[in-house]
Each structure stands twice: as structure tokens, then as C-alpha cells.
Chain A
């Protein structure tokens, strides 16, 4: 990202100077202003969601989901490692509920546990593919930004978004099965 930032910045500066040097500072300030408004929108959305999700967590929703998910993930990820399965379940349910903060640490330890035991390339690739599909109950950030932008129908993206997430999940799973399927573990 650092290289990209530097390269794009320098090329843009050169072009701005050629076009209209006076537009340089206003562009920077407008950009920073957009960051402030975006963060304000996010602050309200996060306040609602993180507060609510904490209640859900305390009420045992996350635990219940993890338990329900175990038999399925045992088969999907082809592992019998109980610790890894537990971390996978926490990661997937947290991701599904939109709790990225809780999902990432569990995901990292799941990945390490999958890697430690054996040469479990299949499990790790499958776990990564499932994680990258972005399947979630509600795309809360996108919805919040849409409401902020004055959407008449903020929810109109739900169905296409679900289908698109599902496509990412299925294509990812299928590719992992095709690429790693024959090697088995």
C-alpha cells in the first residue's frame, strides 16, 4: 500500500500541476473532509452494532452458533482437531454477525492450529476461501452508508448482495475442492 500511495500521489501531483495548480490544496482538504464525514457515519453505525453485538455475545448467541456449526465445519474443513474447530466456529459466527474484531484473532489462531498438526493444505485453503467470501447476516456498513447518502430504499441491495456473497462462497469452495481435492490433506 505504501508504494501504491507514493506512486499514485506523485503522478497525480504532476498532472494536477499541469492542469491547474490552484486545485491542489482544495482537493486535499476535500478528501480529508470526506474522511471526517465517513468516520462520523461509521461512528454512529458502529455504536449501534457493537453495543448490540455485545448484548448478543453475553446472551450466548455466539456460543450457540459456534456449537451448531461444528458438525458441518468438521466435514467441510476435513479436520478432527477440536481446538481448531472451536476457533473456526467462533471465527465464522463472528464474521456472520459482522463482528470483524472478534473474528480476526480467532481466524488467526484457527489458521495456526490447522497448520501445526499436519500438512493440512486443504483445510487451510478451504478456511481462507470461506473467510474471503464475506458471507454475513446484514451488510451493516454498506447499509449505514446508504442511509447516510439518502437512499430511498437502502435495503434494495440485500438480495443481490446475498446472492453475490453466496457466489463467492460456492466458487471458492469449488475451486479449493478442484485444486486440493485429489491430494487429500
Chain B
């Protein structure tokens, strides 16, 4: 899969050439964009910290192991490694939560392991459905419609299970 390593350099070069052609002040723009990182991280850090602290406590209490073994028949029937069950559970609700879990799983099992790859794919595909629905349907009149949320949830679940399958065969 060495071809994938070419995507980024080519993409960056193409955009920079386009910027040069259109006489964009590339250096100033880059700095302008990076300026947004600090506010983003300061808004993110508290929630990430909340979840990582909780996740660590969850692990230390043995609850995590208990939940894993309770759910493992379900997940192994679907072909999903039981280690990433927590990621499945938290993904629809919290982006920062699944982010911290992904970091945790990668350092615990290794990024190139089957568990690490599955976790990466499950994290990358789909969205935080319930969180998004709260934002997107908040301004709308009337109640938050349940049907679109259920549809998106089902689609994400199927794709996450399939993602683990793809990881196994690729």
C-alpha cells in the first residue's frame, strides 16, 4: 500500500501550486489557519480529560473487563474484536470520547495490530450520530425527529462491523 504515501505530498503540492497561480498569500494563510488551533484545543481538552480520566478509572475498577466479557459473545458473533467494544458504545455520543479511546487502544495494543487497525477504521468511518443530531435538529421547529437518527445509527453500526471485516481481509 505504498501508493497511499503519495496522496499527501501530491495533494499539498497541487493546492500550493493552485494558490501560487491565484496569487494567494500562502504563508500568511497558513499562519491564519494555525491560529485557530489553540482555541479549538482549549475547547476540546476539558472534555478529552474528562473522558480519559473516566476511562482509566473504568479500566482500573475492572468494570471494563466485566463489560467486555459480558458483551464478547455479541461482538464475536459480529466478528468485532471485544477490545474495541467500548469504542462502539461511545462513538455515537462523543467525538472526544472516541478520540481518547482510540489513542488508548493504539498505545495498548499497537497501531499495526488487528485491534489497532479495527479501532482506527471504526473511529474514521461514521460520525457521532447522537451528538450531531442534537446540533443539527436543535434549531428546527418541533421535536427532534427520531427516524433520521435511527437510520444514521443503523448505517454507522453496519459500516463499523463491516470495517472490522475489511481489516481482517486486507
With a CB–CB cut-off of 8 A, which chain B residues contact A159? 1, 166, 170
Q: How far is the CA of A107 from the CA of B140 in the complex (A)?
A: 12
Looking at chain A, what size class is its interface with the partner chain? 35 or more
Contact B30 A54 (CB under 8 A): yes
Q: How far is the CA of A131 from the CA of B41 in the complex (A)?
A: 23
A80: min CB distance to chain B, Å:
20
With a CB–CB cut-off of 8 A, which chain A residues contact B58? 8, 12
B108: min CB distance to chain A, Å:
9
With a CB–CB cut-off of 8 A, which chain A residues contact B62? 15, 19
Q: How far is the CA of A59 from the CA of B52 in the complex (A)?
A: 38
With a CB–CB cut-off of 8 A, which chain B residues contact A46? 37, 40-41
Contact A31 B34 (CB under 8 A): no
Instruction: Encode contact with B along A5-49: 1 for CB under 8 Å, 0 otherwise.
Output: 100110111111001000110011011101111110111001100
**In the complex with contacts A51-B33, A112-B140, A146-B116 CB distance below 8 A:** yes
A82: min CB distance to chain B, Å:
20
Contact B155 A133 (CB under 8 A): yes
Interface residues in chain A, defined as those with a beta carbon under 8 Å from any beta carbon in chain B: 1, 4-5, 8-9, 11-16, 19, 23-24, 27-28, 30-32, 34-39, 41-43, 46-47, 50-61, 101, 104, 107-108, 111-112, 115, 121, 124-125, 128-129, 131-134, 136-139, 141-142, 145-146, 148-161, 163-165, 167-169, 171-172, 175-176, 179
Interface residues in chain B, defined as those with a beta carbon under 8 Å from any beta carbon in chain A: 1, 4-5, 7-8, 11-12, 15-16, 18-19, 22, 24-26, 29-34, 36-37, 40-41, 44-45, 48-63, 93-94, 99-100, 102-104, 106-107, 110-112, 116-117, 120-127, 129, 132-133, 135-141, 145, 147-149, 151-152, 154-156, 158-160, 162-163, 166-167, 170
Ranked nearest first, the 3 interchain pairs of A and B with the lowest CB-CB distance are: A54-B33, A31-B56, A164-B163
Residue of chain B at shortest CB distance from A40: B41
Q: How far is the CA of A8 from the CA of B22 in the complex (A)?
A: 54
Q: How far is the CA of A112 from the CA of B141 in the complex (A)?
A: 9
Q: How far is the CA of A157 from the CA of B110 in the complex (A)?
A: 14
With a CB–CB cut-off of 8 A, which chain A residues contact B41? 39, 42-43, 46
Q: How far is the CA of A40 from the CA of B72 in the complex (A)?
A: 33
A78: min CB distance to chain B, Å:
15
Contact B63 A12 (CB under 8 A): yes
Residue of chain A at shortest CB distance from B30: A51
**In the complex with contacts A31-B55, A39-B48, A129-B151, A60-B22 CB distance below 8 A:** yes
Residue of chain A at shortest CB distance from B100: A38
With a CB–CB cut-off of 8 A, which chain A residues contact B55? 31
Contact B33 A164 (CB under 8 A): no
Contact A125 B147 (CB under 8 A): yes
